[in-house]
């Protein structure tokens, strides 16, 4: 026994080390391909964007100089960019609560109903699968100040007609309306999935505990149980709203008088129309940074409050 | 109240309610789940509702709770017809099988919830605003005290500020039990409350629920698929099979004197051995050309099934046996042992005795014997056939090994 114990330290220490090397190599060969792909496809473009944002790069220009944070200073002092940021924030602030709320409402109605559930589900989901660029022409017609059916309808009931897309006071609201129309169905489908995952016996328990009204049951079971879904839906909806572009591109081109100038449109103009790659990259970096902050806030702070397991 | 655990003695009894089910039926489309079930549970009585899975026992319990409504028949609680009254208005407490605790609330909030729902008005329950309405504070304080009391009674007072996710299965079960008893229910329903617990905890909690029932005095309906649980806990056992109530009687009666073959096979573990026999012209039940029981009024040539409990089946020599059989193997279970046997036609049958009796038994031909008085005979339709006179003496002499 003691002989054996004494003999142990004398054993060559090489064997285990070789084993570790072998494991390391196996691990590297397994992780390697995806790590390279991630670097090339996900991280490199972002790095390139950040690098470009520190230069005065212009498409077609022969020279490129490092200008440090100049582009950021320009961008943050640029009136158009500030209007654009404010408009985008406003657009997000309208579209997110409205489409999340409507999506939840429709999901609850569909879940509570017995007939035609499949039909309603598909109907509300249609705007999500339809091509927004194509549907924009329909909206242009609907919102046309003179021949648009919406204004005709308003006229019939005796209300004054509204210049939906042509007035700088209305244009952002009109675009938000289209955004809500487009997003609600998506949110609804996510909520339907969340509602379906709620343990039915909790409603039995609520009923026995004396939750008489639908409001009581909603407050006691549905709302808290939907927490994780709600967090996800709000995050997705905000990201989608921040990325508004197609409707602006096809319907208003940022106008009138920059009233529908939004971030992606401004970046697009800067990069692809004015060919200011450096400035556009700086805007894009700011754009991504703002999105990241939003997402991190939601997942870190809110997550703790909606997951109970 | 002597003999009860200290903590339960503090619980005040309530006025228990009498429960009556009168011809209750329910079907979903073509499937009949419950077929004219009538059952009366006396005030303060503990009735176990047992049956194989899918027999409709949970549906029946939900009907008593008001979570399901019958197609026909009536439910009466304390003499009041509540057939169409919803659960929230029935003042019935229920422990659901999965416990159904609210995962976002602490144990304390879970326990308080039924009281908050019942004692506070809708306006008082409003977030923020409600707290400042007259009376809310006093009510909440009273609720808090009641919750503390229930927590102490169930020995979960140290868990009250935990959420369900941070508790073990047994702890959650106690919280679920607490949520049901905290409002002094007059009718207490439990849907397989022990099925998610491990074996040792189950036996322990079984005793606690019986103690709790004694302390509360509430009328209790307890659903389980575990016949042992039903026999051990209940004053009376109700056996439900394919939506029909077959027998309601004390545990001893349903075991010793079942009225239907389904009751005989469901109650008892291992289950009763059934041998098919034919009645001859002298009223004897004949199996493999041997009479094994006699004194039946059934028509000659009628097929009957003779049931014998494992513990009544004796294994002995070949000569004085009532039936020859083959011993396949014996199984040691600690206090008991089982002998797995085959009848001449190959049908399996099980005998149970203390391990000493089976010591030294080797597989091979054996003889089976029993006391005729222990036999339970059923006709082809499954109804119990009772001998016209006590035939025990006749066959018993042959049976002695």
Across the interface, do B86 and A209 touch by the CB < 8 Å criterion?
A: no
- CB count within 10 Å of CB A192 equals 22
Which of B 53-82 lie inside 8 A of A, CB atoms?
62, 65-67
Q: Are residues A43 and A110 in the same domain?
A: no
A46 and A111 co-located in one domain:
no
Residue A86 domain flag: yes
What CATH superfamily classification does B271-399 receive? Answer: Nucleic acid-binding proteins (2.40.50.140)
The DSSP bridge partners found for residue B332 are B337
A207 closest CB neighbour out of B87, B93, B113: B87
Instruction: Give pLDDT, residue B328.
Output: 93
A23 touches chain B (CB under 8 A): no
**B25 CB near a chain A CB, below 8 Å?**
no
Nearest to B96 among A204, A211, A216 (CB): A204
Residues A248 and A196 both lie in one domain: yes
Alpha-carbon distances, residue A251 vs A179, A182, B169, B178 (angstroms): 13, 15, 59, 62
d(CA B243, CA B390): 35
- For chain B, say whether A256 makes contact (Cβ under 8 Å): no
Query: CB distance from A200 to chain B under 8 Å?
Result: no
Instruction: Indicate whether A80 belongs to any domain.
Output: yes
Give the sign of the dihedral formed by CA A58, CA A60, CA A63, CA A64. Answer: positive
| Residue B120 C-alpha, separation from nearest chain A C-alpha, in angstroms | 11
pLDDT at B12: 57
Whether A140 and A102 share a structural domain:
yes
User: Rounded distance, CA B77 to CA B83, Å?
Assistant: 9
Q: Where are the domains of chain B?
A: 6-256, 271-399
pLDDT in tens, A181-216: 989 999 999 999 999 999 989 999 999 998 888 888
The total number of structural domains that make up chain A: 2
The answer on A218 and A147 residing in a single domain is: yes
Query: Are A106 and A219 within one domain?
Result: yes
* 10-residue mean pLDDT series, chain A (309 residues): 47 55 84 91 89 82 79 85 90 95 92 82 83 83 83 82 78 89 91 91 91 88 90 89 88 81 88 85 88 83 68
Nearest to B100 among A204, A224, A309 (CB): A204
Q: Output the pLDDT for position B385.
A: 85
Q: Each residue of B217-226: pLDDT tens digit?
A: 889 999 999 9
Considering only CB atoms, which chain A residues are within 8 Å of B77?
none
To the nearest whole Å, the CA of A197 is away from the closest chain B CA by 14
pLDDT at B339: 93
CB contact under 8 A, A227 and B88: no
Buried b (16+ CB within 10 A) or exposed e, A63-89: eeeebeebbbebbeebeebebbbebbe
Between B86, B100, B165, which is nearest A199 by CB?
A: B100
DSSP, res A98: H
Question: Is the domain of A210 the same as that of A263?
Answer: yes
Cα atoms found within 13 Å of the Cα of residue B356, Cβ hemisphere only: 0
Number of H helices, E strands in chain B: 11, 21
Residue A120: the pLDDT is: 85
Query: What integer pLDDT is reported at residue B399 of this predicted model?
Result: 45
Interface subset of B 101-140, CB within 8 angstroms of A: 101-104, 113-114, 117-118, 122, 125
- The residues near A52 (Cβ < 8 Å, ≥ 6 apart) are A277, A278, A281
Residue range(s) defining the domain that contains residue A41:
15-53
If phi > 0 it is left, if psi is from -120 to 50 it is alpha, else beta; for residue B350 that is beta
The answer to whether B87 contacts A202, with C-beta atoms less than 8 Å apart, is: no
Rounded Cα distance between B293 and B338, Å, is 24
| Domain annotation covers residue A60 | no
A202 in contact with chain B, both atoms CB, cutoff 8 A: yes
Whether A26 is in a domain gets the answer yes
Nearest by CB to residue B88, choosing from A210, A227, A308, is: A210
Yes or no, beta carbons of A210 and B93 under 8 Å apart:
no
B294 to chain A, closest Cα gap in Å: 53
Is A220 in Cβ contact with B113 (below 8 Å)? yes
From B94, B104, B122, residue closest to A208, measured CB to CB:
B94
Please give the span between the terminal C-alpha atoms of chain B, in angstroms, as a whole number.
48
Quick check: B249 contacting A, CB < 8 Å?
no
Task: Return averaged pLDDT per consecutive 10 residues of chain B, 401 residues in all.
Answer: 46 76 91 92 94 89 93 92 90 89 91 88 76 79 88 87 90 90 87 87 88 88 92 94 93 93 92 90 84 78 90 80 88 92 91 89 89 88 76 46 38
**Quick one: which of B338, B274, B336 has its CA closest to B309?**
B274
What is the least distance, in Å, from the CA of A108 to any CA of chain B?
Answer: 20
* Residues A24 and A142 reside in one and the same domain: no
CATH assignment of the domain containing A209: 1.10.3720.10
CB-CB: which of B96, B114, B165 is closest to A308? B165
A106 with A187, same domain?
yes
CATH classification code of B6-256: 3.40.50.300
pLDDT digits (tens, 9 = 90+) for B364-378: 888 898 888 888 999
Residues A41 and A175 in one domain: no
- Contact with chain A for residue B193, Cβ under 8 A: no
Same domain? A164 vs A210: yes
């Amino acid at each position: 026994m003691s002989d054996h114990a004494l003999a142990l330290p004398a054993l060559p220490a090489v064997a285990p080390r070789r084993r570790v090397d072998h494991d390391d190599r196996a691990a590297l060969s397994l992780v390697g391909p995806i790590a390279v792909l991630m670097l090339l496809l996900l991280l490199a473009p972002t790095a390139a964007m950040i690098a470009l944002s520190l230069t005065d790069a212009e498409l077609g220009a022969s020279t490129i100089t490092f200008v440090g944070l100049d582009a950021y200073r320009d961008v943050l002092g640029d009136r158009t960019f500030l209007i654009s940021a404010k408009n985008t924030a406003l657009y997000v602030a309208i579209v997110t609560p409205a489409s999340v709320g409507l999506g939840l409402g429709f999901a609850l109605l569909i879940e509570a109903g017995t007939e035609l559930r499949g039909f309603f589900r598909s109907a509300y989901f249609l705007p999500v699968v339809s091509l927004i660029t194509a549907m924009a022409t329909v909206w242009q017609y609907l919102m046309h100040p003179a021949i648009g059916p919406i204004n005709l309808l308003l006229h019939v009931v005796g209300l004054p007609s509204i210049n939906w897309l042509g007035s700088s006071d209305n244009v952002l609201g009109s675009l938000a309306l289209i955004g809500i129309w487009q997003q609600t169905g998506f949110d609804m489908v996510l909520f339907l999935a969340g509602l379906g995952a709620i343990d039915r016996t909790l409603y039995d328990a609520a009923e026995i505990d004396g939750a008489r009204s639908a409001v009581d049951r909603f407050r006691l079971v549905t709302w808290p149980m939907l927490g994780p879904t709600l967090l996800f839906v709000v995050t997705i909806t905000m990201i989608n709203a921040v990325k508004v572009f197609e409707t602006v591109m096809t319907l208003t081109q940022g106008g009138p008088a920059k009233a529908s100038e939004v971030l992606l449109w401004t970046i697009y103009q800067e990069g692809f129309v004015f060919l200011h790659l450096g400035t556009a990259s700086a805007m894009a970096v700011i754009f991504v940074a703002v999105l990241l902050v939003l997402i991190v806030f939601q997942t870190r702070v809110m997550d703790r409050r909606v997951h109970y397991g | 109240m002597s003999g009860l655990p200290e903590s339960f003695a503090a619980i005040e009894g309530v006025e228990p309610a009498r429960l009556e089910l009168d011809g209750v039926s329910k079907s979903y489309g073509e499937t009949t789940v419950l077929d004219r079930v009538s059952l009366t549970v006396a005030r303060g009585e503990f009735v176990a509702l047992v049956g194989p899975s899918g027999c409709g026992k949970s549906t029946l319990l939900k009907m008593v709770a008001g979570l399901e409504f019958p197609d026909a028949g009536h439910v009466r609680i304390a003499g009041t017809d509540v057939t169409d009254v919803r659960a929230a208005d029935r003042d019935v407490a229920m422990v659901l099988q999965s416990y159904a605790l609210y995962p976002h609330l602490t144990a304390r909030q879970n326990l308080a919830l039924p009281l908050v729902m019942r004692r506070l008005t809708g306006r008082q329950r409003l977030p923020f605003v409600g707290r400042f309405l007259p009376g809310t504070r006093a009510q909440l304080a009273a609720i808090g005290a009641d919750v503390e009391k229930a927590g102490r009674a169930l020995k979960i007072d140290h868990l009250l500020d935990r959420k369900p996710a941070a508790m073990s299965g047994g702890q959650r079960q106690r919280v679920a039990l607490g949520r049901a008893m905290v409002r002094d229910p007059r009718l207490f329903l439990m849907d397989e409350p022990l099925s998610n617990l491990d074996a040792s905890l189950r036996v322990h909690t079984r005793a606690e629920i019986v103690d709790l029932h004694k302390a509360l005095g509430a009328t209790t309906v307890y659903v389980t698929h575990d016949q042992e649980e039903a026999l051990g806990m209940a004053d009376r056992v109700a056996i439900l099979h394919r939506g029909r109530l077959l027998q309601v009687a004390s545990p001893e009666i349903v075991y010793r004197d079942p009225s239907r073959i389904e009751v005989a096979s469901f109650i008892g573990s291992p289950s009763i051995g059934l041998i098919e026999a034919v009645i001859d012209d002298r009223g004897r039940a004949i199996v493999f050309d041997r009479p094994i029981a006699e004194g039946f009024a059934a028509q000659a040539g009628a097929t009957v099934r003779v049931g014998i409990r494992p513990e009544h089946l004796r294994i002995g020599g070949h000569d004085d046996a009532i039936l020859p059989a083959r011993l396949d193997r014996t199984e040691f279970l600690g206090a008991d042992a089982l002998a797995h046997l085959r009848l001449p036609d190959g049908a399996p049958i099980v005998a149970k005795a203390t391990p000493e009796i089976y010591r030294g038994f080797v597989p091979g031909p054996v003889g089976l014997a029993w006391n005729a008085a222990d036999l339970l005979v059923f006709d082809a339709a499954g109804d119990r056939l009772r001998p016209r006179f006590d035939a025990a003496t006749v066959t018993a002499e042959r049976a002695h090994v």
